[in-house]
Structure 1
Amino acid sequence: MRLAFALVLCALLYVECRHLGDKSKKGFNKLLLISFDGFRWDYDQDVDTPNFDQLVVDGVKAKYISPPMITMTSPSHFTTITGRWIEDHGVVHNMLFNSTTLLKITHKKTMKRSEWWDNGALPLWITAQNQGLKTASFYYPGGGVNYSGQAVNRALTESYGMPDDNETEWQQNIDKVMDWYTKEDFDFVTLYFGEPDNVGHNKGPETPERKKIIEMIDRILKYLRDAIVRNKLTDSLNVIITSDHGMTTIQKNKFHGVEEIVLSNYINFLKSVHFELLDYGGFAMIRPREGQKEILYNQLKDAHPNLTVYRKEDVPENFHIAKNSRIQDLILVGDLGYNLNSRAVIYVNKGDHGFHNDEMDMKMIFRAFGPDFKKGYLAEPFDSVNIYALMCKLMGVVPAPHNGSLAHTEGMLVDNFDDLHPVPTPVPPPVPTTAPGGHGERNQMSFLLLAVLMFIASCFT
């Protein structure tokens, strides 16, 4: 009898070992985070968008949300996935750079360079994996690299030359993500789309071309919701739809009769500047040559009525950028629509971002729906840094250190959320490994099996 009981206990513990740390088996729903790059908060207000309109009825809408101060793709996306301000996560620009060696690497080439992203702040993919969940990144910035040797379970990165506005490809991407959930039991997926950012840059935000791409995004939203139904995920998948920044029309001399900001009109680059990140929207950084910092600052601070210049030590605290070593000695911010040019006017974009995150044109969208979200709920504006805590709660993940708060988003959840998803007693995460099922998981399993063997031995003594 005692032997039979021991064998049953062995079988039960074996099953438990196979699912050790698998929170999705304990009652939490799956999560899909979608980002439409450059989707300004009001882009659905001057276009017929029946599917976005339906989300107001079927889910949650925030009036708008604010990106971090450096309103660029990589810094903002990484704030969302880490819940950390830019000065804490260290992704301070779209370009990988080294101001000592003068290295500069373009945006898409950074997507496989771990040294740009891996600065100590763990993205949610890794934190969730360390607690037993299975995660994936589909083109999302930062998803295709390693963090202290750990990789995202499944990561796809964009290649050069890929069109961002291929509706058929968008549908195929959604189908692939649905397969990840239904056929491979993924718990958390981030899905990135490169529009409407590209059309905003190339054509401008107030154009028929931009409106056309919003109509296309609205259609893909319907495709997504239909795919969720087809794959029987309606009752088990939460969806968050957001962006990284907005877009504004660029003030051009030719069209608007304005004085564009050309810094070579005010400073001598060869004599005074060691390194610069300029010609990239409304935000710029300069590392002066030795002994030139105050000279450059004084030359620039009143140079143009639409330019604001800060010494690094004087950057306002609420920018949340100054404490990071990658931030350079001088910070330059153009007024809304005023791009920063270094030696000449070479900027061809008709729309851009990178401007102060207080500007309404830099604000972005937030929509959410699924079994854990209320219906017809209108949320007040909040900062994007708070999305991280919400995602952790939705998946039952114990968050890593972060700068956000649930106070801004918890009201979106159904009133009985905590009753539906009781949080288990926190268990220390497994020892980090470079792949799922590594040493940390094996150590916990070994401990349980040892306990079983000791129990069996006692049955015969």
Structure 2
Amino acid sequence: MLQACTGEQRTGIAVIGASEERVQRLSPGLDGSCCGPCATASSWRPSARGPLRGTTAPRNKLLLISFDGFRWDYDRDVDTPNLDAMATDGVKATYVTPPFITITSPSHFTLLTGKYVENHGVIHNMWFNTTSLEKKPYYMTQFVNEWWDNGSLPIWITAQRQGLKTGSLHFPGTASSYQGEEALVKEVEPRFYDYGNETAWRENVDKVVGAWLGGQDLDFVSMYFGEPDGTGHRHGPDSPERREMVRQVDRTVGYIRDSARRHGLADRLNVIITADHGMRTVLKDPLVKEIVLSEIPGFSFKDLSFHIVDFGPVGMLLPKDGMRDKVYNALKGAHPHLHVYKREDMPRRLHYANHPRILPLLIYADPGYVIHGYVPLQFSKGEHGFDNEDMDMKPFFRAVGPSFRRNLVVGPFETVNVYPLMCHLLGIRPEPNDGHLDVTRNMLVSAQDLDPAGDPEDSFLPNVFTGLAAVAGFLFVVFAVFTSHTLCQRKKVSKSSIMSMLQYNMQQTCTSSKSFGSDLTCRKRWTLKKKNLRQNKQPCEFHWN
């Protein structure tokens, strides 16, 4: 029977020592080993992307910041001078698309690995075991090491294996070790942490920017803030409380940049700020007919061995032996805003099927609807987890620093592409991933210095075509010179004919070159000395500029 990893939690949370000479940790973890198929990563086609090199400048530092649940348009109804200044000084994306399912842990692990959820295996906020029927909530799942360490390496470990020093504060996945390694410096929030305390936010910024990036000279740090997600859940994304929390986020962004300047890091620190998902207003009775599984004719929880429902708009079901078709048929078409899929039939664009942890039946609701099990128990005014094509699920993206262009707005892209971008900024070779550096290369100041060796798949064919275009252009020119010279010697054509023929050959040379994506030949700007012809000189008296 399909089951997730098991184990018992050890006590303690990560603690950071301020000394540069000695970093102390009390790292939580698990005794025991992963059981069942969860230890096996799904098969998939890797897309390795190398760093972009070609410069001898010192490596810049990188700070990755996530503001949980910050929707792409949250700055439109609030004055955000610091986010606006960051966009002016750097790069702003219209929005970014998170992976499905659009919840915290899976989306954050995509940022850290560059993989879709079915490929990195952190499929849910909740650890579960289908044999013991045990489930752990979000916070406790942070300490289930095997839930996170299941074959995909986060960027902390990749960077450290290549000689860099990394740290992480409160970022999902921080508590775990990966193949026996963990971030050099890390801190996990206490269990009942106040995610919205602005004073604590500033203390954390001082710690990360001043002590870690500055004092301990870390190369890369990931940092997590739990808002405006919590406020969006409690009060809704259109509430005045959410708008006030966005103002707090904006003040914190200003404080982060000021802190970098105070510690002399502004000229060598790249900062990426984004989020894991957006937020949508929940539709409830009496405005709509809510989705309650127990009220669906023909459906019974007795036909299930295990289920995860009452978790927003997404659920997973494990039917008892021989009951899958019965459960599927009962749910199919039972509510106009409920979708049910057999795992193998999930839309490929969602990348949420090809992993053994994903249960045989998946259900998800249209934007605005949530799925209740027995009775409507969810009272949140805002929710996420919906289809990642829904605009309200799109997060924001800002980037600023010495490696980024200024005052640039780029189009939308998927968050799997943040990982190869970060690997380039750190100058490290990435693990196999689903992202592409080409998607974000136009953000970079030194895009023209990209090292083709870093990505042979992307660079080989263009280089071949450019070379062929240059050869073709040269042959056109030789032919033009030879033909015109012969004609001139034989005195068999007029000046205008010579001119027309040469211009045609030059045009063909340029067209051939441009068709292969290069203006290498055309930049020579082959020209004719027309005045020689006008002055009744020999029609062959021309030269190149």
In which range does the TM-score fall when normalised by the shorter chain? 0.7 to 0.9
* In 2, Cα distance between equivalents of 1:64 and 1:357: 12
Q: Evaluate the alpha carbon distance shift between residue 311 and residue 189 of structure 1 in structure 2; reply closer, same or farther with a 3 A threshold.
A: same
Contact 1:372-1:417 within 8 A present in 2 as well: no
Shift of 1:151: 1.3
Q: Quick check: which has more Rg, 1 or 2?
A: 2
Shift of 1:26: 6.9
**Number of the residue aligned with 2:400:** 369
**Number of the residue aligned with 2:140:** 109
**Number of the residue aligned with 1:149:** 180
Deviates more, 1:271-280 or 1:65-74: 271-280
The CA deviation string for residues 406-457 of structure 1, in whole angstroms up to 9 with x for no partner, is: 11101000036738x9999xxxxxxxxxxxxxxxxxxxxxxxxxxxxxxxxx
Counterpart secondary structure, 1:392: helix
TM-score (norm 2): 0.71
Instruction: Give runs of aligned pairs for residues 392-411 of structure 1, distance below 5 A.
Output: 392-411=423-442
**Number of the residue aligned with 1:309:** 340
1:81 equivalenced with 2:81 (yes/no): no
| From 262, 266, 274, the counterpart of 2:292 | 262
Contact 1:356-1:362 within 8 A present in 2 as well: yes
Shift of 1:211: 0.1
* In 1, Cα distance between equivalents of 2:155 and 2:271: 16
The CA deviation string for residues 251-276 of structure 1, in whole angstroms up to 9 with x for no partner, is: 0104xx21000001125444211111
* In 2, Cα distance between equivalents of 1:80 and 1:128: 14
* In 2, Cα distance between equivalents of 1:270 and 1:205: 33
How much identity, in percent, do the aligned residues show?
Answer: 49
**Number of the residue aligned with 2:192:** 161
Instruction: Give runs of aligned pairs for residues 18-29 of structure 1, distance below 5 A.
Output: 27-29=58-60
* In 2, Cα distance between equivalents of 1:196 and 1:116: 26
Contact 1:39-1:195 within 8 A present in 2 as well: yes
Instruction: Give runs of aligned pairs for residues 89-108 of structure 1, distance below 5 A.
Output: 89-108=120-139
The CA deviation string for residues 148-171 of structure 1, in whole angstroms up to 9 with x for no partner, is: 111111111121221111111101
Counterpart secondary structure, 2:118: helix
Contact 1:137-1:144 within 8 A present in 2 as well: no
Contact 2:299-2:331 within 8 A present in 1 as well: no
Instruction: Give runs of aligned pairs for residues 2-401 of structure 1, distance below 5 A.
Output: 27-178=58-209, 179-254=211-286, 257-266=287-296, 267-401=298-432
Coordinate RMSD, CA, aligned? 2.0
* In 1, Cα distance between equivalents of 2:400 and 2:300: 51
Shift of 1:73: 0.1
* In 2, Cα distance between equivalents of 1:62 and 1:242: 10
Counterpart secondary structure, 2:267: coil
Shift of 1:110: 1.2
Equivalent position amino acid for 1:77 in 2: H
* In 1, Cα distance between equivalents of 2:102 and 2:90: 27
Equivalent position amino acid for 2:288 in 1: V
* In 2, Cα distance between equivalents of 1:270 and 1:317: 28
* In 1, Cα distance between equivalents of 2:142 and 2:80: 32
* In 1, Cα distance between equivalents of 2:428 and 2:444: 16
* In 1, Cα distance between equivalents of 2:253 and 2:435: 28
Q: Evaluate the alpha carbon distance shift between residue 319 and residue 422 of structure 1 in structure 2; reply closer, same or farther with a 3 A threshold.
A: closer
Counterpart secondary structure, 1:218: helix
Q: Evaluate the alpha carbon distance shift between residue 416 and residue 309 of structure 1 in structure 2; reply closer, same or farther with a 3 A threshold.
A: closer
Shift of 1:317: 1.2
Shift of 1:25: 10
Equivalent position amino acid for 1:44 in 2: D
The CA deviation string for residues 356-397 of structure 1, in whole angstroms up to 9 with x for no partner, is: 000000000010000000001111100000000000000001
Contact 1:306-1:338 within 8 A present in 2 as well: yes
TM-score (norm 1): 0.84
Equivalent position amino acid for 1:214 in 2: V
Contact 2:110-2:415 within 8 A present in 1 as well: yes
* In 1, Cα distance between equivalents of 2:332 and 2:447: 54
* In 1, Cα distance between equivalents of 2:299 and 2:341: 19
Unmatched 5+ stretches in structure 1: 1-22, 425-461
Shift of 1:101: 2.2
Shift of 1:111: 1.2
**Number of the residue aligned with 1:10:** none
Shift of 1:341: 0.4
Contact 1:396-1:423 within 8 A present in 2 as well: no
* In 2, Cα distance between equivalents of 1:71 and 1:112: 21
Contact 1:112-1:144 within 8 A present in 2 as well: yes
* In 1, Cα distance between equivalents of 2:200 and 2:357: 37
Shift of 1:316: 1.2
Contact 2:416-2:434 within 8 A present in 1 as well: yes
The CA deviation string for residues 284-343 of structure 1, in whole angstroms up to 9 with x for no partner, is: 110111111000000001100000110111011111111100111111110001001011
Counterpart secondary structure, 2:142: helix
The CA deviation string for residues 202-256 of structure 1, in whole angstroms up to 9 with x for no partner, is: 00000000000000111111111110110000111000000000000000104xx
Shift of 1:102: 1.2
Deviates more, 1:396-405 or 1:99-108: 99-108
Deviates more, 1:34-43 or 1:310-319: 310-319
Q: Evaluate the alpha carbon distance shift between residue 142 and residue 417 of structure 1 in structure 2; reply closer, same or farther with a 3 A threshold.
A: farther
Higher relative contact order (CA 8 A, sep 6+): 1
Shift of 1:69: 1.1
Contact 2:198-2:248 within 8 A present in 1 as well: yes
**Number of the residue aligned with 1:438:** none
Contact 1:83-1:402 within 8 A present in 2 as well: yes
Q: How many residues align?
A: 401
**Number of the residue aligned with 1:436:** none
**Number of the residue aligned with 2:14:** none
Contact 2:339-2:365 within 8 A present in 1 as well: yes
Equivalent position amino acid for 2:444 in 1: L
Equivalent position amino acid for 2:267 in 1: D
Q: Evaluate the alpha carbon distance shift between residue 296 and residue 223 of structure 1 in structure 2; reply closer, same or farther with a 3 A threshold.
A: same
Q: Evaluate the alpha carbon distance shift between residue 195 and residue 363 of structure 1 in structure 2; reply closer, same or farther with a 3 A threshold.
A: same
* In 1, Cα distance between equivalents of 2:124 and 2:189: 18
Counterpart secondary structure, 1:355: coil
